[in-house]
Chain A
Amino acid sequence: MRPDEETFSPETVDEQVEQLSRSLYAIPSRQGRTADAQLVQNLRRMYELEQEDARSVARVQRQLEQQGWLAPERRRASRPERGRRQERRRSEPLPELQAATYRERAAPRQRGWTFRLATIAAVLLVTTLIGGLVVGLVLVHTGKGSLPGQGTATAVPSGPTATGAPSGPTATATPIPLSQQSVYVASENGVITALNASTGRVRWSYQSMGQIRAVPNHYGEGSGLSMALSNGVLYIGSSAGVEAVNTRNGSMLWQDKIGGGQGAPIVRDGVVYVDAPTSLLALRANDGHVLWKQITTSAIYGLAGVSEGVVYVGGDNSPNYAFDANNGKLLWQNMDGGLLWGEAQGAAYYTTEGGGTECCLRAINGRDGTQRWTFDQKHEAVPYGFVGNIVYTSSSDNYFYALNATDGSIVWKSEDVHPVFTLWAKLFASFFYTSTNQGTVVALNPHDGSQQWMSPTFGNASVSPDIENQGTLYVSYQENNEADGAGVAALDVGDGTMKWKARINTIYFPTVEGVINGAVYLGTSIYGQGTVNTISAFSTSNGSPLWQYSQAGLLPGSLID
């Protein structure tokens, strides 16, 4: 009998289903299974996931009940849960579980092994994806040209729609003057691809000697890649070391197998700063010659910045270091850890979460590591930008603050714009933009914090002010119903009116990657195994789609020159 060639009949449907189920055991691999066997398998899996979801919702409900938020509910005995982890989790005393949850999120420096294990578990999922692609892959360096057989991604004309403006022809039919600029993307298996900025076509591909990492952009906005562009050279920080690639043709200029760090290289004044697992290196940008190398006493988690002759290194739940940029001399180390958000005015800015006695925003003097000031012992605060002697920061009390970088005193406190959580905020030359929980963008005057305008709503969805360019603010947004997609919109920086709005089909929150010469680039940026990320180009004049590039395993983020 070939069950997939027959219809399911009322008389034998039970037997057919059971026969197909048995065949799953006989053929554990997908290859060789019939389509109907796979259908049965997928149906079982789908309902199994639903049950797991229901158990998860019930677990959270029990925690809320324990805290007194929900009325206790009598439950019938549930079926045994699968897996040791679930059993362990279920058997844990709920108050302790709850406390652990909040310790993990609220006090990074108290996390210790609990946090490390949780982090490793999370990272395992990501690295498994990377590793899965890498296992068995011969790491071959190519000098120039495309890599045969590397990936299946192709630039294709996209079908997104633009609203608020007449739709235009696709870029493949209407070339726009984007000169020879490129958009650089990377996949988890270490292949960097240069796309023609005007057409999305692949210019060249380059196989790096290790895996590329997705790292946050400065101040945590969006996502980025462990790469840097400078003077026609692409500097790649991979799991194996650092490489320099000619952006014109993808040829390798030099490489150094120093081991993999966690952050993106930083290029300043002809020097490439790059981190390795337990060291920081400065290399000459021209030829990769090692200018100095500094060994650290513990693992470091990426470069945070180079400013005023100081290289800041650090990461969450780890010591933060400051080195002299000229000779690599260790200036100071801060064993408290915390998130290092940036540096300005000769100071580094750290945050640790939580209220009470936890410090929330601290300014540390760059040269000696002494504490300059502390802001707001009661609220979480996140700095979003620095201009002159002013530090702009959000606070969990739903206000924005401008702080004097010298002493931390409050220069102004914003009007109440009621952002539920200030996760999207950007400081540009003229305005400080943030999003609200009503799905709008609010522009604040950076001189006094007064509200200048509020944009139209984006369907009550999340919005992110990402890029300001020539009088236009480009914001990424996600519709309230994720199935309705997401997109990019152009707002007039003068009054917040919407010039156009363009949509892509994705359930992921997108990020505006960059704007150049008439094109704005929108990337989806989600981390996860096998995620298909995309980068889409739209005309800046009316939002009409130009091209879209998508690929399984594409890392979030891109570089645009």
Chain B
Amino acid sequence: MMQQRPRAASFDQASATALYQTYAPMIFGYLRRNTPSREDAEDLTLEVFLAAFERGGLAALPEEEQVAWLRQVARYKLTDYYRRRARRSSASLDDYADEMEADEALAPEHVAVQHEEERRLRAAVQQLSPAQQQVLRMRFSEGWRTAQIAEAVGKQEGAVRMVLSRALNLLRRLYRDEQEGGTLR
């Protein structure tokens, strides 16, 4: 059952929804990168937007100020999270020794390398053209072959193959250049 919450001259549902849909990915992404668990990032995202919707007057601000406010509150929430988390209880390492030994993927060196690779790859992908990014996404996110992608975007399969192969070659070069210490332009 939906509950209607009182709000003081702030967002109506439509504007609140628009604000959320536009900026929630950015806020969540920031929180996700800075929290150890997805669930915590979700909770913090919820808190940020609840604070936004409950705050009278925010809706009247220009959009850029609303965004700045959201980012600021996200930082505060994150800081608060770590402050409180640091104060909370810990648990014996022995309790988790089996799990830790069993899961090499959680080894710190592995996680550190993985995070760094993700960051570099994301930066490299962002240098590709929009068309290349779109095809890459369909290939690796949806798992579509080039024929399916061509059908979806209304292009010739050969053209899609060309875009995908060029994207991968470019990505490989960019990716390797940076791995070897080069800079991405």
Could you tell me if B3 and A66 are in contact, using CB atoms closer than 8 angstroms? Answer: yes
Report the nearest B residue to A29, measured CB to CB. B104
Residues of B within 8 A of A7 (CB): 165, 169
- Interface-centre pick from A47, A316, A526 (highest chain B CB count, 10 A): A47
A527 contacts which of B24, B29, B85 (Cβ < 8 Å)?
Answer: B85
- A253 CB within 8 Å of chain B: no
- A59 CA / B38 CA spacing, docked (Å): 11
The smallest beta-carbon distance between B106 and chain A, in angstroms, is 5
Could you tell me if B165 and A239 are in contact, using CB atoms closer than 8 angstroms? Answer: no
- Interface-centre pick from B20, B69, B99, B118 (highest chain A CB count, 10 A): B20
- B145 CB within 8 Å of chain A: yes
Could you tell me if B36 and A211 are in contact, using CB atoms closer than 8 angstroms? Answer: no
If the complex has contacts A54-B25, A123-B89, are A439 and B146 also in contact, measured as CB distance less than 8 A? no
If the complex has contacts A64-B50, A128-B100, are A47 and B20 also in contact, measured as CB distance less than 8 A? no
Could you tell me if A46 and B122 are in contact, using CB atoms closer than 8 angstroms? Answer: yes
- A372 CA / B29 CA spacing, docked (Å): 45
Report the nearest A residue to B115, measured CB to CB. A530
B161 contacts which of A11, A39, A53, A508 (Cβ < 8 Å)?
Answer: A11
Within 8 A of A (CB), among B53-101: 53, 68-69, 71-73, 75-80, 82-93, 95-97, 99-101
Could you tell me if A52 and B38 are in contact, using CB atoms closer than 8 angstroms? Answer: yes
If the complex has contacts A220-B83, A482-B30, A530-B115, are A46 and B89 also in contact, measured as CB distance less than 8 A? no
If the complex has contacts A14-B146, A43-B136, A101-B46, are A132 and B107 also in contact, measured as CB distance less than 8 A? yes
Residues of B within 8 A of A119 (CB): 88-89, 91
- A40 CA / B100 CA spacing, docked (Å): 27
Could you tell me if A316 and B87 are in contact, using CB atoms closer than 8 angstroms? Answer: yes
- A529 CA / B110 CA spacing, docked (Å): 9
Within 8 A of A (CB), among B120-146: 121-122, 125, 136-137, 139-141, 145-146
A contacts with B, residue count (CB < 8 A): 109
Which stretch of A70-78, A154-162, A512-520 is in the interface? A70-78
- A52 CA / B78 CA spacing, docked (Å): 20
Could you tell me if A10 and B86 are in contact, using CB atoms closer than 8 angstroms? Answer: no
The smallest beta-carbon distance between A79 and chain B, in angstroms, is 10
Could you tell me if A423 and B89 are in contact, using CB atoms closer than 8 angstroms? Answer: no
The smallest beta-carbon distance between B73 and chain A, in angstroms, is 6
- Interface-centre pick from B5, B36, B95 (highest chain A CB count, 10 A): B36
Could you tell me if A223 and B86 are in contact, using CB atoms closer than 8 angstroms? Answer: yes
Could you tell me if A47 and B140 are in contact, using CB atoms closer than 8 angstroms? Answer: yes
- A56 CB within 8 Å of chain B: yes
- Interface-centre pick from A50, A64, A133, A553 (highest chain B CB count, 10 A): A64
Could you tell me if B80 and A421 are in contact, using CB atoms closer than 8 angstroms? Answer: yes
Could you tell me if B69 and A299 are in contact, using CB atoms closer than 8 angstroms? Answer: no
Could you tell me if A46 and B79 are in contact, using CB atoms closer than 8 angstroms? Answer: no
Could you tell me if A56 and B32 are in contact, using CB atoms closer than 8 angstroms? Answer: yes
- How would residues 167 to 179 of chain B score, 1 for a CB under 8 Å from any chain A CB and 0 otherwise? 0110110011000
Could you tell me if A60 and B93 are in contact, using CB atoms closer than 8 angstroms? Answer: no
- A215 CA / B87 CA spacing, docked (Å): 7
- A68 CB within 8 Å of chain B: yes
Could you tell me if A460 and B68 are in contact, using CB atoms closer than 8 angstroms? Answer: yes
- A460 CA / B77 CA spacing, docked (Å): 16
Could you tell me if A43 and B88 are in contact, using CB atoms closer than 8 angstroms? Answer: no
Could you list 26 examples of A-B contacts with CB < 8 Å? A10-B161, A13-B161, A38-B117, A42-B121, A43-B125, A60-B45, A61-B24, A64-B16, A65-B2, A68-B5, A69-B5, A69-B50, A70-B17, A119-B91, A125-B36, A131-B97, A134-B93, A316-B84, A317-B89, A339-B87, A437-B69, A461-B72, A509-B79, A525-B82, A531-B112, A552-B108
Interface residues of A (CB under 8 A from B): 7-11, 13-14, 17, 30, 35-36, 38-40, 42-54, 56-57, 59-61, 63-73, 89, 95, 98, 101, 105, 116, 119-135, 188, 211, 213-216, 220, 223, 239, 262, 277, 299, 301, 315-318, 339, 420-421, 423-424, 437, 439, 460-462, 478, 480, 482, 507-509, 525-532, 552-553
